[in-house]
Amino acid sequence: MSDATISLYERLGGYDAISSVVGNLLPRLMADEQLGRFWQHRGEDGIAREKQLLIDFLAHCAGGPMYYTGRNMATTHRGMQISEADWTRFIGHLTDTLKHFDLAAAETNDVLAFIESTKPEIVEA
């Protein structure tokens, strides 16, 4: 099978790899002095649900067999007042997480390009 026919999901290592990335990324975001406000006053159950939805979303969008049952990005993030500065900080944490897992350059670029494509639906302010 050529690289062109292998899904990003497979190239990333499948469900377990995506779950590990999310498991590394969310605590970084939650501990960030600027971004942590988005998780204040959230219970463990809500955070666990959000984590699972993020895993499902990323796995589905990367070509995996997961079915994403959450809302679209615009609806999910509406009213959160996510700024350009918040977005830049988020991308920094995501980049650090991908480096932590020694993700190859091609896959890193594909992940970052996909995430950047969601920016117009997420950044408000």
pLDDT per residue as tens digits for the range 38-65: 999 999 999 999 999 999 999 999 999 9
Please tell me the total count of domains within the chain: 1
Give the predicted TM-score (pTM) of the model: 0.91
- Pairwise CA distance, residues 92 & 47, whole Å: 21
- Pairwise CA distance, residues 19 & 104, whole Å: 17
pLDDT tens digit string along 12-31?
999 999 999 999 999 999 99
**Domain range for 18:** 13-122
Show the tokens assigned to 89. 């900080």
- Pairwise CA distance, residues 26 & 68, whole Å: 18
- Pairwise CA distance, residues 66 & 50, whole Å: 15
Considering the domain boundaries, does residue 85 fall inside one? yes
Considering the domain boundaries, does residue 115 fall inside one? yes
Considering the domain boundaries, does residue 1 fall inside one? no
Considering the domain boundaries, does residue 49 fall inside one? yes
Check if the beta carbon of residue 3 is closer than 8 Å to that of residue 44. no
Residue 3, pLDDT > 90, answer: no
Q: For the chain, give me the number of helices (H) and strands (E)?
A: 7, 0
